[in-house]
Chain A
Amino acid sequence: MASHAQAQKWSFRITPIRVLLLLLSAVATAIIIYRLVTGLGTVTNLNDEWPWGLWIGFDVLCGVALAGGGYGTALIVHVLHRDYFHPIARSAMLTSLIGYLLVMAGLFLDIGQWFNFWRPFVSWGHSSVLFEVFWCVSCYTTVQILEFGEIATERVGKRFHNIFKAALPVLMIVGIIFPTLHQSSLGALYLLMVDKLYPLWWSPIIFLFFLMSSFFVGPAMICVETTLAGKAYDHWIPIPVLRKLIRISGYAMIVYLVLKIFDLANRGVFNLVFSGTFEANMFLIEMIFGIIIPIFICFSNFSASRSGLFTFGLLVSLGVVLNRMNVVITGMIRSTGVSYVPSLAEFTVSAGLVAMGVLAYCFIVENFRILEHEEHHGHAA
């Protein structure tokens, strides 16, 4: 079998969509280089009123949240040993790894002194939530790369495979601790913005909301991803597996919803929800389409169909994206006093990063045993 793998050539199919993605990546790369040389002011619409914009909101906050599927799956499959969900484990973790690498890239782009990115490793601002995020994301990405090492060494550097395999349980556990901490910390970043972030989003337990949403968005992303991958590679994860998985999400979302209502009522700002303001409407969209409707889908028969799973996945994922963007942009407009519309270059770079992620995913799926892994596993067992 080993010789078979070695003989296999590296493959990467070229389709019209991939050409488009490659083009997008190329344009984004050009903008990225230009930005790194000339600074942020020339490329972005950021200013003193809006120091954080699309790149932090989408590339980083959404990226981390959406890539959160990896640790949830790892928790379910590798720690709780729910082998039932094994078929999705590798692809979920691959999405997660690529997601985190993109987050790192996004962060790197957004920092002004990018050559100084290593500074917090030696100059410890340990009172900062961002310090925790920085360390956790760095460590977790490293762990994820090591985790991927187990898959990679199936094909390249095979003599290390056993070492990786042996280390995997430890890596898995460490790889769950870090995301748990930093997913919540990304929310905790906003604890300081008590007088700036609109009260519908600011909360003393905002970190809990971030953590929970990053947990329940995992299965949702897996639904989206497996549907797309299924179409592309004709590899379908059984519906019951996915349905059982999103049930976990569903329960988490009910808890999330109850906690959110309790939190709003507790702080006496529940009336703001129906105040008809721009913020209130955005909040309602986020809650209704991102939480309430998906809960109904989850526990109805609709979720027994592929389209139901896909709808659920899409709504929850977009709901979390909207939540993160609301925190970074919508909720800050009022205190800032001026509005912010990202520049075309910002959009292009964000889209380009996603394009790179999709291409990397396709490449790895086509060259490593990500999707068919379980079949082998199943046959072997």
Chain B
Amino acid sequence: MQNQVAKEKERQMTRRGFLKMMGGIGLAGITATIAGCSTDPAGGKGWMPQQYQVASSFPVQVKGRVPIDPANPSITRDDKKCVLCGQCVEVCQRVQTVYGYYELPIKNDITCVNCGQCTLWCPTAAITERDDIDKVVKALADKNMHVVVQTAPATRVALGEEFGMAPGTFVEGKQVAALKKLGFDAVFDTNFSADLTIFEEGTELIKRISGQIHEPLPQFTSCCPGWVKFCEYFYPDLLPHMSTCKSPQQMLGALIKTYYAKEKGISPDKIFSVSIMPCTAKKFEAARPEMNSVDKHAKKTELRDVDVILTTRELARLIKSKGIDLNSLQDEKYDSLMGESTSAGLIFGVTGGVMEAAIRSSYFLITKQEPPEALLNLTPIRGLKGCKEAAVDIPGVGTVKVAVVHGLSNARPVLEAVRKKEAPWHFIEFMGCPGGCIGGGGQPRTSLPPSDQVRQARIDSIYNADAHIYAKRKSYENKEVLALYQKFLENPNSHLAHELLHTHYTDRSKLLTVKKDA
């Protein structure tokens, strides 16, 4: 019996020993696998952008990035894609002279003119336009909504690039066809309101020159919302120079919910107005509190002149998402009432275009004579030179001196000259983006950084259409604009025109401390 007990004890011991051993192996295994056999301290071993998957040496060229307000209506950034390459800083500071042109500490604003050039320069597409496609899709699906769309001059020479076409391919008719296919109830052309702008802004210029209104010269164009915000930030003292005209986009927006609504007999609050723009700053412009003249006119509250702005890139995505191939579409025409345009409106899309269109019409409006051929090909203010000048003799007025500036870094010396009263010009065109709207921050992304080659191709396409495709080349020949005045606005700069087509500006200098010696 004693033996048996001893044996039993032995067996127990072995069982326990076995369990102990297994436990030991288990623990050792877990320790080795989970803690890893590494005895290194925690923390990085090298620079590791996610696409590389292997730690490398720390890059010397990383430069950080520009700040973007999460509430920015135009642009947004996906941190996951950012590699801190500094291209956004490069374009914002060197090309647009925004970042780095204000003193630190900042006040209660993140200075941004919403131009969107950073979205073109960002190599990983971390910075993009704020995507508003969903709002448009929702409106299109809403049977109660009359969805109206307008397209900017510059989108028709760039949209094709998103569908494999060469830069500068002219897709005006295909774009209209695609929009109709997407279900828009009316497709209008911003060229129309560009022609209208010529009437309004030209009249304003003549009044300034003739002393009918007491505002200073030179007059600045106000079509570009990026430029306008730039001026409001850095040169608020020069805002009286700014034409009071809204941009063509906002003019057409205001007319869609008033003139068009009236003509069609649709309540303005049943109209959803979309603008296809080459521009991210338009998203900011449409959201400006004062862009609610429809609201005031129709005595309805909470009505915006324009509901959504889509960039060219967003339109391309929308078209693709619906399975539409732009290449295979047959050209279609803009809808009438506000679909007619002259090539003077079209060339608003390139740097110098507004000025050239204005000169063509001013000549006629002042002299009541057709402008000479030279004024229809005003080469001194065409092309990609940063600051271009021209002097035009207009009988009865004398020599009108004009300047054209694109890219905000080029605006600064001109503005400084104006400030010092050393500016010889009567009229200056400013465009925020290099090349004008064809190089806008909402246009298809191309080579990095965006090259003049692509810009030039788009510019050539616009001027080719101006010379060869469009039948009319002068704004005053636009029958629908004339009809608009006759039926609705009465005459340029009328009271109603002021209510709907003109605006005022905000001094934004209190939001930042402008650098003195920048």
Closest approach, in angstroms, between the C-beta of B33 and any C-beta of chain A? 10
B35 neighbours in A (Cβ, 8 Å): 113, 115-116
A113 to B31, CA, bound (A): 9
Q: Offer 9 A-B interface pairs, CB within 8 angstroms, sorted by A.
A: A113-B34, A113-B35, A115-B27, A115-B30, A115-B31, A115-B34, A115-B35, A116-B31, A116-B35
> Looking at chain A, what size class is its interface with the partner chain?
under 10
Closest approach, in angstroms, between the C-beta of A350 and any C-beta of chain B? 25
Majority DSSP secondary structure for residues of A touching B: helix
A116 to B27, CA, bound (A): 9
A113 neighbours in B (Cβ, 8 Å): 34-35
Q: Specify the chain B residue showing the minimal Cβ separation from A6.
A: B5
Closest approach, in angstroms, between the C-beta of B22 and any C-beta of chain A? 14
Closest approach, in angstroms, between the C-beta of B305 and any C-beta of chain A? 46
Q: Specify the chain B residue showing the minimal Cβ separation from A117.
A: B27
Please encode chain A, from 103 to 121, with 1 for each CB lying within 8 Å of some chain B CB and 0 for all others. 0000000000101100000
Interface residues in B6-54 (C-beta closer than 8 Å to A):
27, 30-31, 34-35
Closest approach, in angstroms, between the C-beta of B381 and any C-beta of chain A? 62
Closest approach, in angstroms, between the C-beta of A365 and any C-beta of chain B? 24
B34 neighbours in A (Cβ, 8 Å): 113, 115
Closest approach, in angstroms, between the C-beta of B4 and any C-beta of chain A? 14
A116 neighbours in B (Cβ, 8 Å): 31, 35
Please encode chain A, from 98 to 142, with 1 for each CB lying within 8 Å of some chain B CB and 0 for all others. 000000000000000101100000000000000000000000000
Chain A interface (Cβ < 8 Å from any Cβ of B): 113, 115-116
A113 to B34, CA, bound (A): 9
Majority DSSP secondary structure for residues of B touching A: helix
A115 neighbours in B (Cβ, 8 Å): 27, 30-31, 34-35
Closest approach, in angstroms, between the C-beta of B169 and any C-beta of chain A? 56
A116 to B31, CA, bound (A): 7
Q: Specify the chain A residue showing the minimal Cβ separation from B5.
A: A6
6 new A-B contacts, CB < 8 A, other than A115-B27, A115-B35, A116-B35, are A113-B34, A113-B35, A115-B30, A115-B31, A115-B34, A116-B31
B30 neighbours in A (Cβ, 8 Å): 115
Please encode chain B, from 470 to 509, with 1 for each CB lying within 8 Å of some chain A CB and 0 for all others. 0000000000000000000000000000000000000000
Closest approach, in angstroms, between the C-beta of B17 and any C-beta of chain A? 17
Closest approach, in angstroms, between the C-beta of B32 and any C-beta of chain A? 10
Q: Which 6 pairs from chain A and chain B are nearest by CB? A: A115-B30, A115-B31, A115-B27, A116-B31, A116-B35, A113-B35
A115 to B31, CA, bound (A): 6
A115 to B34, CA, bound (A): 9
Q: Specify the chain A residue showing the minimal Cβ separation from B28.
A: A115
A113 to B30, CA, bound (A): 10
B27 neighbours in A (Cβ, 8 Å): 115
Closest approach, in angstroms, between the C-beta of B245 and any C-beta of chain A? 54
A113 to B27, CA, bound (A): 11
A316 to B221, CA, bound (A): 85
A116 to B30, CA, bound (A): 9
A115 to B35, CA, bound (A): 9
Q: Specify the chain A residue showing the minimal Cβ separation from B32.
A: A115
A372 to B27, CA, bound (A): 42
A116 to B34, CA, bound (A): 10
A115 to B29, CA, bound (A): 10
Closest approach, in angstroms, between the C-beta of A3 and any C-beta of chain B? 12
Closest approach, in angstroms, between the C-beta of B34 and any C-beta of chain A? 7
Q: Specify the chain A residue showing the minimal Cβ separation from B31.
A: A115
A115 to B24, CA, bound (A): 10
B31 neighbours in A (Cβ, 8 Å): 115-116
Q: Specify the chain B residue showing the minimal Cβ separation from A113.
A: B35
A115 to B27, CA, bound (A): 6
Closest approach, in angstroms, between the C-beta of B13 and any C-beta of chain A? 12
Closest approach, in angstroms, between the C-beta of B27 and any C-beta of chain A? 5
Q: Specify the chain A residue showing the minimal Cβ separation from B30.
A: A115
A235 to B23, CA, bound (A): 41
A113 to B35, CA, bound (A): 8
Closest approach, in angstroms, between the C-beta of B40 and any C-beta of chain A? 15
Closest approach, in angstroms, between the C-beta of A224 and any C-beta of chain B? 35
Q: Specify the chain B residue showing the minimal Cβ separation from A118.
A: B27
Closest approach, in angstroms, between the C-beta of B37 and any C-beta of chain A? 13
A22 to B30, CA, bound (A): 30
A283 to B429, CA, bound (A): 75
A115 to B30, CA, bound (A): 7
A199 to B35, CA, bound (A): 39
A249 to B31, CA, bound (A): 46
A244 to B35, CA, bound (A): 54
A276 to B31, CA, bound (A): 50
Interface residues in B310-350 (C-beta closer than 8 Å to A):
none
A314 to B470, CA, bound (A): 99
A113 to B33, CA, bound (A): 12
A68 to B437, CA, bound (A): 82
Please encode chain B, from 84 to 95, with 1 for each CB lying within 8 Å of some chain A CB and 0 for all others. 000000000000
A149 to B34, CA, bound (A): 37
Closest approach, in angstroms, between the C-beta of A119 and any C-beta of chain B? 9
Closest approach, in angstroms, between the C-beta of A159 and any C-beta of chain B? 12
Q: Specify the chain A residue showing the minimal Cβ separation from B27.
A: A115
Closest approach, in angstroms, between the C-beta of B424 and any C-beta of chain A? 64
A343 to B465, CA, bound (A): 72
Closest approach, in angstroms, between the C-beta of A209 and any C-beta of chain B? 36
Q: Specify the chain A residue showing the minimal Cβ separation from B33.
A: A115
Q: Specify the chain B residue showing the minimal Cβ separation from A157.
A: B9
A272 to B271, CA, bound (A): 66
Q: Specify the chain A residue showing the minimal Cβ separation from B29.
A: A115
A138 to B280, CA, bound (A): 67
